[in-house]
Every structure is written in structure tokens, then in C-alpha cells.
Amino acid sequence: MAIKWMMAALGLGLAGAALAQDAPMFGGDEDQAYAEKLWQAMVEQNLAGEGAIMSFPYPGTDPHGMMLETFYARATIDGHDGALVVKRNYGPEGVTVDQVLGMPGEHLGALTVMFRREAGYDAETGDWFYAKYLPDGSLDQNPNGVALAGLVGKNAEAGCIACHQNAGENYLFTTEAEMR
């Protein structure tokens, strides 16, 4: 009897370890709460939400959008001041600059954001926090229903980090600037 109980406990322990290992490294309650603070900081700077400033859109590609706007700023979240990169993703395929400028709300698909958190957040990935917001400020989700916020794509074949690690030391494709 004791052996059966120990085998069952061992099995449950291994199953629990496997489940913990399969759990995503992003999108949990803490990441979602942090992403909400980040959204509010972007709204306060007119980088998101109603009345957001605009720049001249430029051609883009998947996974971001067919037309893009990119803003480089700084934000303070929980007392930490860090670099902020906001990319507005417009579509659908074939959308023109004039269409985006004329009716941005009708063409905005998402905002993809990188925020450089405090040193030690995740030094392996440059301490960048990633988030993908829908135009209303809610977080987009992956096909498994996990919120796209935090270390999205770390140790994976797809996702923000999986792609941006190919951009070099600063994780940015659009600038060589040091974004601390």
C-alpha cells in the first residue's frame, strides 16, 4: 500500500513539474498588471488611446502590420524610468499611407510595445518587457488564451523575444540607438 501511495505521489510530482515547465514565462497576473500601468503611461504621453499623436506611417510587414508608426520615448513605471518603444500596427494588406492618416482608428490593428525594465528583470534578454495591446488597451492573447505581456517568446521558436534576439545587442530592428 505504501509503495502504491509513493508511486502515485511521485507520478503527481512529475506531472506537476511537467505542467510547471509547460507554463508560459509570460502573461500571468503580474505581467498583466504591469502592462496596464504601461498602457496608462502611454495614454498620459498621448502615445496611445484617444487623441494619440501621429507621425508619418511607413510600410511594414508581418507580424506587425502593413503600415507602421514607431515612437521612441521614456516612461516611469513603479519608480523605474526606462526606454519605451511604441509601434502602431495598421492593416489590412494593401492599406495606404493616406488611408491610415485619414482614418487611423479604422486601420489600427494593435500596438506592440517594448519597455526596458530595471536591470536584472531579465538580463539575458536585455531587460525588455514586451506587450501587444489591442486598440482599446486590452492585451492581445496567443492562440492558447495567454496574455501577450512580459517575456513573450523567451526560449521559444516564435514570439517577440524569439524574433527580436535576431536584431542584435539592443533587440531593436529600427535603430542602433542605445535605449537604456
- Predicted confidence band of residue 30 (pLDDT cuts 50, 70, 90): very high
Given a contact cutoff of 8 angstroms between Cβ atoms, the answer to whether 106 and 115 are in contact is no
> Is residue 5 scored above 50 in pLDDT?
no
Given a contact cutoff of 8 angstroms between Cβ atoms, the answer to whether 146 and 35 are in contact is no
Given a contact cutoff of 8 angstroms between Cβ atoms, the answer to whether 150 and 31 are in contact is yes
pTM: 0.84
- Pick the more confident residue, 36 or 160: 36
Q: Grid coordinates in use for 169?
A: 545587442
Q: To which residue does cell 502611454 refer?
A: 42
Calculate mean pLDDT across residues 76-81.
97
Given a contact cutoff of 8 angstroms between Cβ atoms, the answer to whether 155 and 25 are in contact is yes
- Stretch (H or E) spanning 39: helix 29-44
Calculate mean pLDDT across residues 115-130.
96
* Segments making up each domain of the chain, as ranges: 24-167
